[in-house]
């Protein structure tokens, strides 16, 4: 019997991806950059577009370096995904939502939110990030 990738929610995989997102947020909060890097598909197929400089497409090494640099100065991070939607298409999942964060940087409170799309692939019995795309909200939206 064929699986319908359009209508089958792949509930177990949705749960696994949601759990992986929680693990990613915990790694960021803990500043465990090695663990965070382990949740990414390390190789030539990984890509990322970020809403912070550089705005060019990033490869796995650049993304890992930039994430470590961006989060190194952050203290007391509280991060979550609002309006999270996870769609699974067999070994590929797309998570969309609003990444919301509050933290302290150099003693000052900072907060923000960005529209985020994260593409996961199932590889070796775990869900890994193959692509990230973050874009800011336009002022007044």
**pLDDT tens digits, one per residue of 8-60:** 999 999 999 999 999 999 999 999 999 999 999 989 999 999 998 888 999 99
> Would you say residue 85 lies in a domain?
yes
> What's the pLDDT score for residue 15?
97
State pTM to two decimals.
0.92
> What's the pLDDT score for residue 128?
98
Report the C-alpha gap between 36 and 100 in whole angstroms: 18
> Would you say residue 108 lies in a domain?
yes
Specify the CATH number for the domain of residue 85.
Answer: 3.10.450.50
- The range of the structural domain enclosing residue 90 comes to 11-135
pLDDT at 1 over 70: no
- Considering its fold, how many domains does the chain have in total? 1
> Would you say residue 52 lies in a domain?
yes
pLDDT at 138 over 80: no
> What's the pLDDT score for residue 139?
63
> Would you say residue 28 lies in a domain?
yes
Residue 11 sits at the vertex; the CA angle it makes with 9 and 13, to the nearest 5 degrees, is 105
């Amino acid at each position: 019997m064929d699986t319908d990738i359009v209508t089958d929610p792949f509930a177990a995989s949705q749960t696994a991806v949601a759990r992986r997102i929680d693990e990613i947020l915990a790694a960021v909060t803990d500043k465990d950059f090695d663990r965070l890097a382990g949740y990414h598909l390390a190789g030539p197929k990984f890509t990322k577009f970020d809403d912070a400089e550089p705005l060019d497409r990033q490869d796995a090494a650049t993304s890992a370096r930039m994430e470590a640099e961006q989060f190194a100065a952050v203290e007391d991070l509280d991060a979550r995904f609002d309006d999270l939607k996870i769609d699974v298409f067999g070994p590929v999942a797309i998570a969309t939502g609003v990444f919301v964060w509050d933290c302290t940087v150099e003693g000052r409170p900072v907060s923000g939110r960005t529209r985020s799309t994260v593409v996961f692939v199932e590889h070796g019995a775990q869900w890994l990030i193959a692509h990230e795309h973050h874009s800011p909200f336009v002022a007044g939206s």
